[in-house]
Structures are given as structure tokens and as C-alpha cells.
Amino acid sequence: MEAVNHQITKSPNHQIPWLGRLGNNPLAVAGFLIVGLLCLVALSAPWLAPYDPQAIDTWHILESPSKAHLLGTDPLGRDCLSRLIYGARISLLVGIVAVGIATVIGTILGALAGFYGKWIDGLIMRFVDIILCFPTIFLIMAVIAFLEPSILNIMAVIGLTSWMGVARLVRAEFLSLRQRDFVLAARISGASNARVVFSHILPNAVAPIFVATTLGVGGAILTESALSFLGIGVQPPTPSWGNMLTEGKDNLEIAWWLSLFPGLSILVTVLGYNLLGEGLRDALDPRIRSD
Amino acid sequence: MALLLYLIKKILTLGPTFLGITLISFMVMHLAPGEPMSLQADFNPKMTPEMRERLRAQYGLDRPLRIQYLQWLKGLVVLDLGRSFSPDRRPVWDKIKERLPVTLLINVLAIGLILVVAVPLGVAAAVRHNSFFDQVTTVLVFIAYAAPAFWVALLLMLYFGVHLGWLPISGLHSLMGYEQMSGWGKLLDWCRHLILPVLVSALGGLAGLSRYTRSSMLEVLRQDYITTARAKGMPERKVIYRHALRNALLPLITILGLSIPGLIGGSVIFESIFAIPGVGQLMWTSVMARDYPLLMGNLVIVSVLTLLGNQLADIGYALADPRIRTGVQMED
């Protein structure tokens, strides 16, 4: 009890209040539960999956959902539920690592632009404007055409083409924070640039970066699934929700279950991240809370 | 006058951005591991080193990168983007040119649909803030925003095409009996084929824009001048449509401009699903065939189109916003 009190008096508007606000928002809680559950499923895939996701069974191809195969089987007789569960690993992994890459690049470039200003700012922001002119999927395809479409490359390419939003955000935060009194005070007392950036400005910009990251995961998962669906993302036989939908498309007229469930999984996952992200935004920044 | 200055300033920034786009497209292609020529040559068992050198010289790949870029840029200005690697060896621009109208048509129709549906939806939700209607649309918007477009396309094909048999699910017009149709019949046939692709490509933007309309409208409705208008006894309809909506629509112009890359990018997906011969499908085939001049041409043309779309949105904003139009409080 005393420890809690101590913390509250020490930092009046940190940690506990925003967690409370997040807990009061049913949509955000739903998002948190979805994301948490998915991470659990992905981590415990080997124990949860009823079959080996790669096991081909030519006696049971394209079977509709039944007791033995809850979500049916695909054209090679593989169990769709097991492939869906293993697919969660790929989607979450690609989504989180890609956004991680984007966040690092965006934060560095945005911080440089916002902190130094002048021509550095002009140059970096002009670069951001230019990259934003490329429809992302075209740019990704152009790069992928020359690389092996492996999971590692997909993560790198999605990360390299989606950092612009974070860069703009971090720049704006830095521009407004570097004028604030506590930053000026730190400078006057002789703090080095590195110290000003890392212990005074950056910690105050963490909240919006975190929100952007959460919202970005959903987008990255959508991009990965679209690429895999087009055959230039995660390659079979590794199951990904996107390439499972390719099989769904090829058997559209005879096997509806191949199309329904992987898409539903993508939808729920992206929805979870978006709800959580919006909830975090409202909770972390009381200024823009809708009443 | 202020408007003219603003427009000139905007157009002057076009040049550097255009150069940047071309430079990045060029670099993406040339810095990628493995040079484009080897992709073509490696599959040819009869390729001798001398022949390879001759081919390199023929494509200008033996010259320094700087020269190659300038050469390519010079061609780009007169829309000479080189010839495709595919067996027909047609000029890249010809291939893009014949596919551009379809993609543009679908995107323009999609933008129209987005505007017609999203704006009234957002306004209605904002006016009835926190009502049942507002909550239902919010949930639907969240779902539409999270749904992968290609999956929605599959479901719509499954339901309207396969199950009900109401709508065709691929191509731009019927394969059988199209030639015998009358003019109106052909038009109707086209429209029937366009319904699903336009619907699918509009979905994401629709969700996004209605959400923005709602929050923009909520923001405006909180302003003092709305309270003033209400206080002096103005009818609510007039308050909303005359005073609030006009101001709430301004930021939407920018949002619409920003959504253009996403829309055009989406064409890759729905054109390959619905087998529509547009630029997106061309991009996909050029990636699959590693047709390098076609790939580069596509990338540049599509990005320049996006740039122009954004610029149009900026100009639209300037025309709509009296602060920029009259030069009062001109920022930036």
C-alpha cells in the first residue's frame, strides 16, 4: 500500500491513471483480450494444433468441417484448423517485426529532423513526401521481384516501406518538446545533445510512438496477407493466412471453408490491434479523448 | 492573387518530388542484388559470355549508373520507357497506356462511391453522437477497416457470383455473346462487371473516410460559432448543413488526397482477383516474369499519378479554404 502511495505522489499522471482509463474502455479491453489470446495461441501452437499442419492426407482432401477436422481440410488433405493455428505465428511474427523495423527507422529519422531542424529537417521530410507518393504495394512488389520471397525479406521490406508515419509523428513531437521549459532548463544546465534527446525528449514521445506501433501491426498483417495471397509473400508449404486464402480462391466454388476462416482470422487479429491502439491513444492522451 | 502565389509555390515543389520519385525507382531496380540482365540470361543455356556482354551493351547496362539514370530520365520525359523483356518486345509505355484507363475508371468510381456514402454516414453518426446508430456504424466501420479487401472480394464472389449467380466474377465484359450486344447492352454488361471490383476497392477508404468525417464533424460541432448559431435560434438543419458541414469537409479533401496511394495500390489485389486487365494486373505479371523495364515503368507512372492526385487535392483545399484563397493568415 505504501509503495503504491509513494509512486502516486512521485508521478501524479503516470502509469496507474492511463491503465485505469484503458480498463474502463470496453472496446480497448476487447482488443487487448484478442491480442493476448492470439499471442497465446501462437506460442502454444504445437500443443493446440490437433494435427501436423504440413501432414498430407490424400484420403481426406477438401473435406467440409466435421468432428475429425473442425474447419475442414485443404486440397492436400491437411487440417485447416492446425494450419490456421500455425498461421497465427507467421502473421504475428511478420506484423510485429516489420513494425519494429519501421518504428526504429521512423524514430531515428523523425528525431533527427525534429531535433536539428533547418536543412536536415527539410531534406528528411522531403524524402518522406517522396516515399509517400509510391503506392506501398507497388514499391514492395518492385523490391520483392529481385529477392527471394522469404519470411525474413517480407518483414524487412514491409518495415522499410512503412516508417513514414512514425517519422512524421516523432518529428512533430520533437518540434514541440524541444521548446518546452524543461528541455531548455536541461540545456542551460549543460546537458549534452545526447542527454537532452535520450533522457528528456524521447521519454515524453514514447506514448504516441507506442500507439502508432500498435496501430501499425494491424496494417503490416494486412500487407503480409495480401502479399502472400498474391504469391509473393510467405511461400507454401509454410502456412500463412494469406497463402491459405489463395487455396480458397482456387477452390471457391467447391470449398467455402477454405476462404472463410483464414480471412476471419485476419479480420479479428487486425481488429484486435486497431481497437487496442485506439484505446491506448485515448487512454494515454487525455487531450484528444472524445469527451 | 494570394491563391495564385500559393498555386505557383505548390507547382514548384512538384519538380523536386518528381525527380525524387524517378531517382528512388531507379535505385530500387539497380541496387537490388542480381542485375536485371542476369535474370533473363541465366535461363538461356546457349548464352555465352560474349553474347551476354553484347546484350548488356544493347541495354546500356555497361555504362556508369549516373549516365544510365540520365538516359532513362531523358526517355521518361517523352514517355519512352524502353521495351518490355517479354517475347512481344513492345514499348513499355504502350503496354501501360492501354491498361491505364480501366484502372483510373475503377479508382474514380471508387472515390465517387466513397464520397457519396462515407460523408453522409459520418455526418449522421456525429449528429447523433453516442446514439445507437452511432455505435452500430462505429462497430461496422472498425470491422470494414480491419477486413482484408481480397478476402471480402472472395466472399462477395462466393455469394453474389457463385451462390446467387447475380453478378459476373471476372473480366470486364462477358466472353460469350458480347459482340452481338447492342450499345446499351454492352454498357450494362460493363456495369455489371464493375460492381464488385468498385465495391471492394472502395471498402477500406469508405470506412476510413466516414470515421474522419465523424471526428471532424464532432470537432466542428464543439466550436463556439455553432453554439452562437444555435443560440440565435437558427434551425438545427441550417446549423448542421450551412455552418458545420462546410468546415468539417475541409480536412477531408486532404484525407482523400492521402488515400490515393492506397487506392491505386489496391488495384494490384482486386485486378488480379477479378481478372481485370488494368495497371495493377500488369504490375503483378511484370513481377512474376521479372520484366524489369515494365516493372520500373509501372512504378514510376503510378507514383507520378499519385503525386498529381495529391497535388489536385492540395489545390482543391486551397480553392475551398477562404484563409488560403484570400491570403489571410496564410501559413507555410
B160 shares contact with chain A (CB less than 8 Å): no
- List the single residue in A with minimal CA-CA distance to B15: A130
Q: A228 or B88, which is more confident?
A: A228
Distance between A47 CA and the closest CA of chain B, angstroms: 28
Are B28 and A137 an interchain contact pair (Cβ–Cβ within 8 Å)?
A: no
In the prediction, which pLDDT does A289 show? 46
Q: Name the B residues in 197-216 with CB < 8 Å from any A CB.
A: 215
Res. B32: pLDDT tops 80: no
In the prediction, which pLDDT does A15 show? 54
In which band, very low, low, confident or very high, does the pLDDT at B13 lie, cut at 50, 70 and 90?
confident
Place of cell 548488356: B56
Q: Which of A121, A134, A268 to mutate to test the interface with B (most CBs of B within 10 A)?
A: A134
In the prediction, which pLDDT does A159 show? 93
Distance between A249 CA and the closest CA of chain B, angstroms: 7
Whole-angstrom Cα distance, residue A209 to residue A104? 10
Q: Which of A9-23, A62-76, A109-123, B278-292 is modeled with the greatest confidence? A: A109-123
Question: Contact A101/A223 with Cβ under 8 angstroms?
Answer: no
Res. B76: pLDDT tops 60: yes
In the prediction, which pLDDT does A166 show? 92
Res. A11: pLDDT tops 50: no
Residues B151-156 have a mean pLDDT of: 89
- List the single residue in A with minimal CA-CA distance to B303: A134
B272 shares contact with chain A (CB less than 8 Å): yes
Whole-angstrom Cα distance, residue A164 to residue A177? 20
In which band, very low, low, confident or very high, does the pLDDT at A5 lie, cut at 50, 70 and 90?
very low
In which band, very low, low, confident or very high, does the pLDDT at B46 lie, cut at 50, 70 and 90?
low
Q: Which amino acid is at A123?
A: L
Place of cell 507512372: B301
User: B-chain residues within 8 Å CB-CB of A252?
Assistant: 154, 157-158, 162
In the prediction, which pLDDT does A96 show? 93
In the prediction, which pLDDT does B31 show? 67
Whole-angstrom Cα distance, residue A232 to residue B101? 26
Cβ-in-10-Å burial (0-12, 13-18, 19+) of B226 comes to middle
Q: Which amino acid is at B151?
A: W
Average pLDDT, chain B: 82
Are A275 and B302 an interchain contact pair (Cβ–Cβ within 8 Å)?
A: no
In the prediction, which pLDDT does A108 show? 94
Res. A272: pLDDT tops 90: yes
Res. A60: pLDDT tops 80: no
In the prediction, which pLDDT does B329 show? 52
Residues A218-229 have a mean pLDDT of: 91
> pTM of the predicted model, to two decimals?
0.85
Cβ-in-10-Å burial (0-12, 13-18, 19+) of A192 comes to exposed
In the prediction, which pLDDT does A3 show? 46
User: B-chain residues within 8 Å CB-CB of A248?
Assistant: 154
Question: Contact B192/B101 with Cβ under 8 angstroms?
Answer: no
Distance between B134 CA and the closest CA of chain A, angstroms: 13
In which band, very low, low, confident or very high, does the pLDDT at A76 lie, cut at 50, 70 and 90?
confident
Quick one: how far is CA B254 from the chain centroid? 14
How many secondary structure helices (H) and strands (E) does chain A include?
14, 0
- Residues β-bridged to residue A26: none
Task: Measure Cα distances from B220 to B99, B120, B248, B303 in Å.
Answer: 42, 16, 6, 34
Res. A266: pLDDT tops 90: yes
User: A-chain residues within 8 Å CB-CB of B261?
Assistant: 132-136
Residues B223-243 have a mean pLDDT of: 85
- Write the pLDDT tens digit of every residue in A198-207: 888 888 888 8
Facing residue for B154 by CB, picked from A127, A248, A268: A248
Res. B84: pLDDT tops 70: yes
Whole-angstrom Cα distance, residue B25 to residue A145? 13
User: B-chain residues within 8 Å CB-CB of A279?
Assistant: none
User: A-chain residues within 8 Å CB-CB of B258?
Assistant: 132
Whole-angstrom Cα distance, residue B48 to residue B62? 17
In the prediction, which pLDDT does A280 show? 87
In the prediction, which pLDDT does A10 show? 44
Residue among B124, B142, B141 nearest B133 (CA): B124
In which band, very low, low, confident or very high, does the pLDDT at B45 lie, cut at 50, 70 and 90?
low
In which band, very low, low, confident or very high, does the pLDDT at A69 lie, cut at 50, 70 and 90?
confident
Res. B170: pLDDT tops 80: no
Are A134 and B16 an interchain contact pair (Cβ–Cβ within 8 Å)?
A: no
In which band, very low, low, confident or very high, does the pLDDT at A105 lie, cut at 50, 70 and 90?
very high
In the prediction, which pLDDT does A92 show? 92
Phi, psi angle pair for B91, to nearest 5°: -60, 140
Are B264 and A138 an interchain contact pair (Cβ–Cβ within 8 Å)?
A: yes
Give the angle A165-B306-A161 at the CA atoms, nearest 5°. 35
Are A271 and B146 an interchain contact pair (Cβ–Cβ within 8 Å)?
A: yes
User: B-chain residues within 8 Å CB-CB of A229?
Assistant: 148, 150, 269
Are B284 and A263 an interchain contact pair (Cβ–Cβ within 8 Å)?
A: no
In the prediction, which pLDDT does A97 show? 95
Question: Contact A264/A107 with Cβ under 8 angstroms?
Answer: no
Res. A249: pLDDT tops 90: no
CB pairs under 8 A between A and B: 145
Q: A126 or B87, which is more confident?
A: A126
Res. B262: pLDDT tops 50: yes
Residues 6+ apart with CB under 8 A from B319: B3, B325
How many secondary structure helices (H) and strands (E) does chain B include?
15, 0
ipTM: 0.82
Q: A104 or B154, which is more confident?
A: A104
Res. A190: pLDDT tops 60: yes
- Write the pLDDT tens digit of every residue in B110-151: 999 998 999 899 988 888 888 888 888 888 888 988 999 889
For the residues of B99-127, what is the DSSP string, one character each?
HHHHHHHHHHHHHHHHHHHHHHHHHHHHH
Distance between B183 CA and the closest CA of chain A, angstroms: 32
User: A-chain residues within 8 Å CB-CB of B164?
Assistant: none
Cβ atoms < 10 Å from Cβ of B128: 13
Q: Which of A140, A146, A164 to mutate to test the interface with B (most CBs of B within 10 A)?
A: A146
Are B21 and A259 an interchain contact pair (Cβ–Cβ within 8 Å)?
A: no
Res. B238: pLDDT tops 70: yes
Percentage of chain B modeled with pLDDT above 90 = 2
Are B148 and A290 an interchain contact pair (Cβ–Cβ within 8 Å)?
A: no
In the prediction, which pLDDT does A94 show? 92
Are B17 and A130 an interchain contact pair (Cβ–Cβ within 8 Å)?
A: yes
In the prediction, which pLDDT does A286 show? 58
In which band, very low, low, confident or very high, does the pLDDT at B261 lie, cut at 50, 70 and 90?
confident
**Half-sphere exposure at residue B81, Cβ-oriented, CA atoms within 13 angstroms:** 25
In the prediction, which pLDDT does A2 show? 44
Place of cell 468525417: B213
Facing residue for B299 by CB, picked from A138, A260, A267: A138
